[in-house]
Amino acid sequence: MRARSEIIRASPCPASPGDDHDTTRPSLLRPVEALAQLPYHVIRPIDPGSPLVLSSPHSGSVYPRAFIESSRLDFATLRRSEDCFVDQLFADAPDHHVPLLAADFPRVYCDANREPWELDPAMFAEKLPAWCNTRTTRVLAGFGTIARLVSSGEPIYAMPLSFAEAEARVHGCWHPYHAALAELIRETFDRFRCCTLLDCHSMPGERGDPRAAGLDSDFVLGDAYGTSCAPILIQTAHRFLEAAGFRVRRNDPYAGGYVTRHYGRPRQGIHTLQIEISRALYLEQKSYQKLPGFDRIRKLMSELVRVLADTSRTLIP
């Protein structure tokens, strides 16, 4: 990244209707070097007392200015791919002796829930190296490691990118994030001889709208069709959410992305479960402001973490 570049972070939500923050506009924060040095943050408990780990790869809201200027889209549209405030929904995890890893870089800039080199050749000015994975369903849909589209379907870039730009993003964001995640899993496994990873996401949705991505669901749980974790984990999460009065689906339309499938090795004692939360439960999706129900969902997720932490302890050999 350029030495004198700047980054943009999405403005905080207004504390009250009278505040003048506009969450569809960027606000200047700090030099981009800070993002390059540490493109994620980890909230650790004082006492790691559970084999549960949380990750939030899509809630990052630090946008490099050069990226915004290279896009054909306005800032509000770029944010449509963001799992807005998901890291905040799970911020109580350390109270339950559980660490939380969250990306600071936005998904639309570099997607940490993809393979590192899932790239679309049509996006680049030069021919890609042969080792890039250019034919996955995600790349063909426009949602590779460097996305061609935002989640609502609009093209991001006005001009082709250089491969050097993709390399800078993968080496500066993707690799550090996954190094931190792998280290958290290793630390947890070494301590407990097992580890459960809950990968946390949000999905577009409107209550009562069957055309929404979650198919009129409040939560979608994904275990890669029964291959990424012990059945008791998804069963426990499903029962808990349904008992709280929410609509829950499994693996449809979200079975789990790269994180779920790559790290989930239940026969080796490493379990991964993905959760998708409908943004209609906590977010005004045009202004990116928290709804009054935000605190309810945050408390619900805190309790879910406690329940899954207890369930994960039953998997300790």
For the chain, domain boundaries: 23-313
Residue 303: pLDDT band (50, 70, 90) is very high
Closest C-alpha to 134, from 123, 146, 118? 118
Q: How far apart are CA 82 and CA 94, in angstroms?
A: 23
Q: Give 28 or 299, the one with higher predicted confidence.
A: 299
| Helix, strand, coil share of the chain (percent; to 5) | 35, 20, 45
pTM: 0.89
- Pairing relation of β-strands 270-278 and 283-284? unpaired
Span 23-313: which CATH code? 3.40.630.40
What was the pLDDT predicted at 205?
Answer: 82
Q: How far apart are CA 227 and CA 265, in angstroms?
A: 8
What confidence tens digit (pLDDT) does each residue in 176-210 have? 999 999 999 999 999 999 999 999 999 998 654 44
Q: Give 23 or 257, the one with higher predicted confidence.
A: 257
What was the pLDDT predicted at 208?
Answer: 47
What confidence tens digit (pLDDT) does each residue in 304-316 have? 999 999 999 999 9
In what helix (H) or strand (E) does residue 40 lie, and over which residues does it extend? strand 40-43
Q: Give 210 or 238, the one with higher predicted confidence.
A: 238
What confidence tens digit (pLDDT) does each residue in 79-124 have? 999 999 999 999 999 999 999 999 999 999 999 999 999 999 999 9
What was the pLDDT predicted at 207?
Answer: 54
What was the pLDDT predicted at 5?
Answer: 39
CA angle 302, 209, 86 (to 5 degrees): 25
